[in-house]
Structure 1
Amino acid sequence: MIDKIQSILADYQPDILGKQRKFAVLLPLIKVHDAYHVLYQVRAKHISQGGQTSFPGGSVEVDESFQEAALRETREELQLEAANIRLLGEIDYIVSEWAIVHCFVGEIIGIAYEDIVANEEVAYLFLVPLDTLVNLKPIHYDIEFETVQDDEFPLHLVSRDQSLPIHRRHTVSIYNLPNEELLWGFTANLTERFIQILQQDASFRKDTK
């Protein structure tokens, strides 16, 4: 029996447990007036999470890699050509109970910011100078979730005292930007992590002083 189990596990490819949907985004950098900026977009009201600030991106399609999805979605949403995106690399990704989000970093080239015309999924675009984000710290708020079960949940099978006091704490990052825009959620988390990665490099810290 144990040999059979070992044989089964030898050929098994571990994966994340759960039914998370896969998403990919691109953190776009663009040079404007000799300074690099991060490009953000506000989602149109008629799509999911309408009115929220995000990076270009979306769901990973079947037989598509995270990187391919990030580049495709960026081309579609910003109506760019493949030659307009120079891929620079990937940063840390997010895994939650419902989503896996990979974040790539790319430079928008061969087109001026004012000439970018986003598609109908985007309400408008805006820029934040990279130097501003380097010197701007987000505010962190802790929020707590409490589990609520419906009447059909077999509480007597999992709890002796007929209660299910499962509490989860989650930290939300919020950027109050100088242009009165807000960043929060995954977009703020990825922005903050990108800046942290850059600041780990001594030469980058010297260049931004």
Structure 2
Amino acid sequence: MTGLELERAWRGREPGLLGRKHACAVLCPFVETAEGLHLLFEVRAPSLRRQGGEVCFPGGRMEPGETPEQCALRETMEELSIPAEHIRLLGRSDYLCQPGKFSLQPIPALVDGAGLRAMRPSPAEVAETFTVPLSFFQETPPEVFVYTLEPKIPPDFPYGAVNASPDYRWEAGEAEVPIWRWEGRAIWGLTGRIVKNLLETLGSVPL
């Protein structure tokens, strides 16, 4: 292999997340009401294999060649039947990653009144929808729980071959779980982390 071939391998390449198996995107829909801005949420259908009954934003796995924005709009149409022409994309929020699994790109957006009236949740994916005033999140600190991410090393790991001792200090970590409770529902997990980040971003914006 030549130096020119090496250069071609990286020229114009869009960086990805090392170890990622797939990429996902969600729409974070703000809606304007007479009482001010609200965030729109879904409750996943209880029949779904993963996270049935949990609160989330519309979204899912990106298809080959799809941008996060295209994915978020497509998934919102599939899950809620809100047409893209009634959604104004506002940018990209900070993304999340589950090491060795997936990345998740939140896309803040504003859904107009016609889009909200057109909403028809898919019964196969969505049990119900609801909105929460943005002011509630701004005025109500979440409950925050922290759990430890512990490395589990195989018993046959070849410490000698990598010149390390069996008491090698593997890196551990921590993850925050913010929880808001709203009218009998819990907004938590990845969705809670996204909401927390949206609020942090809006902290410097007068509302």
Q: Determine if contact 2:32/2:113 at 8 Å carries over to the other structure.
A: no
Aligned equivalents of 1:178, 1:186: Cα separation in 2: 17
- Look up the match of 2:89: 87
Find 1:186's aligned residue among 186, 190, 197.
Answer: 190
TM-score (norm 2): 0.83
Aligned equivalents of 1:104, 1:133: Cα separation in 2: 18
How far off is 1:75 after superposition? 1.0
How far off is 1:7 after superposition? 5.8
How far off is 1:82 after superposition? 2.1
Of 136-145 and 187-196, the range deviating more from structure 2: 136-145
Aligned equivalents of 2:162, 2:47: Cα separation in 1: 41
Change (3 A) 1:74 1:9: same
Find 1:109's aligned residue among 89, 97, 112.
Answer: 112
- Look up the match of 1:135: 139
Q: Determine if contact 1:155/1:163 at 8 Å carries over to the other structure.
A: no
One-letter amino acid matched to 1:22: A
Of 65-74 and 168-177, the range deviating more from structure 2: 168-177
Provide, for residues 18-45 of structure 1, a one-character-per-residue CA deviation record: whole Å limited to 9, x for no partner.
1331000000011233421101111112
How far off is 1:111 after superposition? 3.0
Q: Determine if contact 1:147/1:165 at 8 Å carries over to the other structure.
A: no
Of 142-151 and 32-41, the range deviating more from structure 2: 142-151
Aligned equivalents of 1:116, 1:172: Cα separation in 2: 33
Aligned equivalents of 1:108, 1:124: Cα separation in 2: 17
User: Which blocks of at least 5 consecutive residues in structure 2 are unaligned?
Assistant: none
Q: Determine if contact 1:147/1:164 at 8 Å carries over to the other structure.
A: no
Q: Determine if contact 1:77/1:122 at 8 Å carries over to the other structure.
A: yes
Aligned equivalents of 1:200, 1:72: Cα separation in 2: 31
Change (3 A) 1:99 1:198: same
- Look up the match of 1:49: 51
Number of matched pairs: 201
- Root-mean-square deviation (CA, aligned residues, Å) is 2.5
